[in-house]
Structure 1
Amino acid sequence: MSLDLYDDITEEHAEEAIFLWHLRTLATRQPHYLLDDLDLLDNRIAAHVGGLRINAEVGWAACRELLTDTDMPAIAPLTLMALEAADHANLESLFELAEHEPAFQPALESAFGWVSSQFLRGTVQAMLQSASPLRRRIGIVCCAMHRVDPGPVLLSAIADAEPALRARALRSAGELGRLDLLECCLHSLADENPACRYWAGASALLLGNRGRAVEALVAMGASTGPWQERALRRVLKVLDASAARTLLSPLTQQPAALRAAIQGVGHTGQIVYCDWLIERMRSLETARLAAEAFTFITGADLAELELERPPPEDVEYGPNDDPDDDNVAMDEDEDLPWPDADKVAEWWRVQAPRFSEGIRYFLGEPPTRSHCLRVLRYGYQRQRIAAAQYLCLLEPGTPLFPVIAPAWRQLRLLDEIGRRDEAEAPHLAPGRPKPACP
């Protein structure tokens, strides 16, 4: 086999690794990916990164050549190779690039979370002590994604002058279950930066506060803006039915906030909204989102129960081939099923009596620890994100389960939790349910 052919194969590994990394970034928050699907994707990425290692010099050059504004994920395999080879010079060049081009920073961060911890010894500690806010932030990101407590560094970062570093430190306080930082989070609810205020409230909520944190998140959820949907998804998991109705009712009358309201309804867990959601399924613009919210409450598997319908004809959402069409926004609901509203209504008429008003439901059951652990193993990514949050809300101080970590790390952690629960209380060990349809 000629050297040129080896080089061509390595370049193919580079292209595939970059493409799959981008796909994985999207998959971690999409409604149709299971943990097993993420595992397959991670294995494919690992195989292509392995191919890059075989011919490392060519692999580095191929990824570097693809490192453009339109292929930002290329920085991820470069970071993995530099970390695994302890190549400090090339790692330094990637940091310098990310310092000057913020668009590369998310992929750089995710690579630090994906790589095995054995390749991070010494590197992350140096980052946490760096004078660079970016390096300290990525060091904190890395610790949070590996669920390793960075210690006092987190407290100093919460008080840093750099907003992005403050926001990440506040977020990590909740993710790591740092109960000692609850008062710092509450103090940061007055931060001038909206991202800091949001993460201060979100973390304080996970850490057990049901007063000022709830008030702050309710205020964000009531106001149209970039943090509205996130705030609603968080705070509606703890609001009682009356408080949830007070927050959501005005939003359902505002066209700009309707999507946020529908999504939020799913996180109330209250069956009083099921008929309203079914009516929203009769509108093409809200049908799929309403169906997802309905599933979040009832656990109805639309595919298994044959409650789906074919996609409507002659309806386009998102970009198309028309050069005169200025619509370039992606279809937010592309991977959600189309519900048959009449069939869903009939199913709900029969099933509603087994549900009780006033009880919070999550995929058809109250959000208990054992149920949330089952969802973490067998649910879809958006459902798994909610399950991880519920576990923290049930037991403040519990580290947030890392639903975007490499699948093999998640599976290992779930096995460890299962063995521990089995030893402590055999009747609480989770069994295997069928996943709810996205």
Structure 2
Amino acid sequence: MNQLTTSIISQFVAEAAFLWVLRSRLVDAPHFSLQDLAQLDERLEAHLDGLRVAGEAGWGICRDALDGQYAETFFPAAVLAFESGDKDRIQVVIESLNNDPACAKALISALGWLTYEQAAPLIEKLLTDQSAYLRYIGIAACAIHRHDPGQHLNKAACHVYPLLIARALQAYGELGRSCELDNYNLPNLLADSDNGIRFAAAWSASIAGIPAAVETLKSFAATEAPYSVKALNTALRQMEQTAAITWQKQLADSPATIRLATIGAGVIGDTILVPWLIEQMKTPQLARIAGEAFTLITGIDNELDEMKGAQLEGFTAGPNDDAKDDNVALDADENLPWPNAGLIAAWWDNNKGNYPSGTRYLLGKTVTVDHLRQVLKTGLQRQRSAAALELAILQPGRPLFDVRARGCRQLAAGGSA
């Protein structure tokens, strides 16, 4: 192999790893659509295809990259190893994991990238492996493909390894089996000392509308924590409208949870909260997320000229070039437009009669199965995620539509459930 060839192959590996990281962020981005996702996936697949064409040389450079223990390098290596079916290659990838959660995420993603038919032989082995960690990967891979692992899921939920239990409990919700959780002593799961187990049980059971689970989810949304936004999104959708608005107001009363209250207003979807949202658009740290919530309710795009605003004075977000500035947190709302509160207030005064309060709206229309399916086809990723969750709640027993799946597969399915 000459140096040029080595360089090109190394670039394929680096680009595939980079695009996988980028994809991991953009699948939850507020400005990204299904078409955008499909195009990004085509770019990623092109680099993987370059590695396939390179044959043993491509695999060799992927294998060597694993030594750096960078999670992103596991994705191209795992894709090549798994789709080849080569036992030695697969063993190299599995042994390089070292129980690293970030590397496991890349490996699970690689299993999801393959068709289920390609991934099935390895998934079956993972589901019966002696290692609970590898069984966790197997359950996660099944959940990504929305393939029901049957009794393997039941056994995982009764295991003693917290990570495996939590992933199994989450899979019940993803696979449309939430109603079965009552068979696993749900009260004990909702009181478990492990946050991952308690949250997964509450989230999945909440999809089935179990009141105790919804109350547990509310406790996770008490602060800005790893589970808070997901808990908020599910709990509010299962609460009676008046109770949901009352809780939203309680969250709004505390500086620690006012951002969650702003997000929650969009989830509730009642236009009675629109004036409050417009007020939040005047606060630099809340303006853009309030604009997104306004769009989620009304369907009006804040990027339209008659709605667009400029960055508010007093807003700061790190990191920047100032070495003395300790603020290194990324701008959570960098991909959201700045709304013009004055223009939006004027528009609302002229149009609020078209949006009677007391009704739940999503992107300007009442929440119905047909509308939700349309949002899955045409909405942005966060909007599509909201629609998928609404559908799962409206259609008990059906799997949660995966808006993070490969774009080509979603398009082949018409973009919706």
Q: TM-score range by the shorter chain?
A: over 0.9
- Structure 1 CA distance for aligned equivalents of residues 226 and 41 of structure 2: 30
Q: Which amino acid aligns with 1:160?
A: H
- Structure 2 CA distance for aligned equivalents of residues 68 and 103 of structure 1: 15
User: Can you list the C-alpha shifts for 1:331-376, whole angstroms capped at 9, x where unaligned?
Assistant: 1001000101101111111111011111111111112111111111
- Structure 2 CA distance for aligned equivalents of residues 119 and 403 of structure 1: 21
Q: Which amino acid aligns with 2:398?
A: T
Post-superposition offset of 1:219 = 2.8
**TM alignment of 1:19-34, pairs within 5 A:** 19-34=18-33
The alignment status of 1:104 with 2:116, answered yes or no, reads no
- Structure 1 CA distance for aligned equivalents of residues 27 and 350 of structure 2: 34
Post-superposition offset of 1:408 = 1.1
Post-superposition offset of 1:4 = 2.5
Do the aligned partners of 1:11 and 1:58 also contact (CA within 8 Å) in 2?
no
Post-superposition offset of 1:285 = 1.0
The alignment status of 1:176 with 2:153, answered yes or no, reads no
Range moving further from structure 2, 117-126 or 151-160:
117-126
- Structure 2 CA distance for aligned equivalents of residues 18 and 311 of structure 1: 33
Q: 1:70 to 1:142 in 2, by over 3 A?
A: closer
Q: Which amino acid aligns with 1:198?
A: F
- Structure 2 CA distance for aligned equivalents of residues 197 and 126 of structure 1: 28
Q: Which amino acid aligns with 1:18?
A: A
- Structure 1 CA distance for aligned equivalents of residues 242 and 84 of structure 2: 56
Do the aligned partners of 2:377 and 2:415 also contact (CA within 8 Å) in 1?
no
Q: 1:398 to 1:316 in 2, by over 3 A?
A: same
- Structure 2 CA distance for aligned equivalents of residues 86 and 229 of structure 1: 39
Q: Which amino acid aligns with 1:127?
A: L
- Structure 1 CA distance for aligned equivalents of residues 137 and 5 of structure 2: 34
2:329 match: secondary structure: coil
Post-superposition offset of 1:230 = 1.9
Q: Which residue of 1 aligns with 2:77?
A: 78
Long gaps (5+) in structure 1? 418-438
Q: Which residue of 1 aligns with 2:262?
A: 262
Long gaps (5+) in structure 2? none
2:120 match: secondary structure: coil
Q: 1:225 to 1:179 in 2, by over 3 A?
A: closer
- Structure 2 CA distance for aligned equivalents of residues 71 and 343 of structure 1: 47
C-alpha RMSD of matched pairs (Å): 2.0
- Structure 2 CA distance for aligned equivalents of residues 70 and 216 of structure 1: 37
Range moving further from structure 2, 85-94 or 68-77:
68-77
Figure out how many residues of one structure are paired with residues of the other and give that number. Answer: 415
Q: Which residue of 2 aligns with 1:383?
A: 383
Post-superposition offset of 1:48 = 0.4
- Structure 2 CA distance for aligned equivalents of residues 319 and 64 of structure 1: 34
- Structure 2 CA distance for aligned equivalents of residues 69 and 380 of structure 1: 35
Q: Which residue of 2 aligns with 1:47?
A: 46
- Structure 1 CA distance for aligned equivalents of residues 27 and 348 of structure 2: 30
Q: Which residue of 1 aligns with 2:243?
A: 243
Do the aligned partners of 1:268 and 1:360 also contact (CA within 8 Å) in 2?
yes
Do the aligned partners of 1:15 and 1:63 also contact (CA within 8 Å) in 2?
no
Do the aligned partners of 2:319 and 2:330 also contact (CA within 8 Å) in 1?
yes
User: Can you list the C-alpha shifts for 1:110-145, whole angstroms capped at 9, x where unaligned?
Assistant: 111111223223211111011111211111111111
The alignment status of 1:4 with 2:3, answered yes or no, reads yes
- Structure 2 CA distance for aligned equivalents of residues 166 and 384 of structure 1: 28
**TM alignment of 1:273-312, pairs within 5 A:** 273-304=273-304, 306-312=306-312
Do the aligned partners of 1:158 and 1:169 also contact (CA within 8 Å) in 2?
yes
Post-superposition offset of 1:7 = 2.0
Q: Which amino acid aligns with 2:103?
A: F
**TM alignment of 1:74-153, pairs within 5 A:** 74-153=73-152
Q: Which residue of 2 aligns with 1:196?
A: 197
Q: 1:59 to 1:16 in 2, by over 3 A?
A: same
1:414 match: secondary structure: coil
- Structure 1 CA distance for aligned equivalents of residues 309 and 69 of structure 2: 36
Post-superposition offset of 1:247 = 1.5
User: Can you list the C-alpha shifts for 1:85-134, whole angstroms capped at 9, x where unaligned?
Assistant: 11222222222222343331211111111112232232111110111112
When normalised by structure 2's length, the TM-score is 0.94
Post-superposition offset of 1:68 = 6.9
1:199 match: secondary structure: helix
Q: 1:272 to 1:209 in 2, by over 3 A?
A: same
Q: Which residue of 2 aligns with 1:360?
A: 360
User: Can you list the C-alpha shifts for 1:44-94, whole angstroms capped at 9, x where unaligned?
Assistant: 011000001111333234334444778421100100000111122222222
**TM alignment of 1:316-395, pairs within 5 A:** 316-395=316-395
Q: Which amino acid aligns with 2:280?
A: R
Range moving further from structure 2, 296-305 or 408-417:
408-417
Q: Which residue of 2 aligns with 1:434?
A: none
Do the aligned partners of 2:297 and 2:363 also contact (CA within 8 Å) in 1?
yes
Post-superposition offset of 1:184 = 3.9
Q: 1:245 to 1:190 in 2, by over 3 A?
A: same
- Structure 1 CA distance for aligned equivalents of residues 67 and 403 of structure 2: 28
2:361 match: secondary structure: coil
1:290 match: secondary structure: helix
Do the aligned partners of 1:99 and 1:134 also contact (CA within 8 Å) in 2?
no
Q: 1:284 to 1:416 in 2, by over 3 A?
A: closer
Q: Which amino acid aligns with 1:162?
A: Y
Do the aligned partners of 2:262 and 2:290 also contact (CA within 8 Å) in 1?
yes
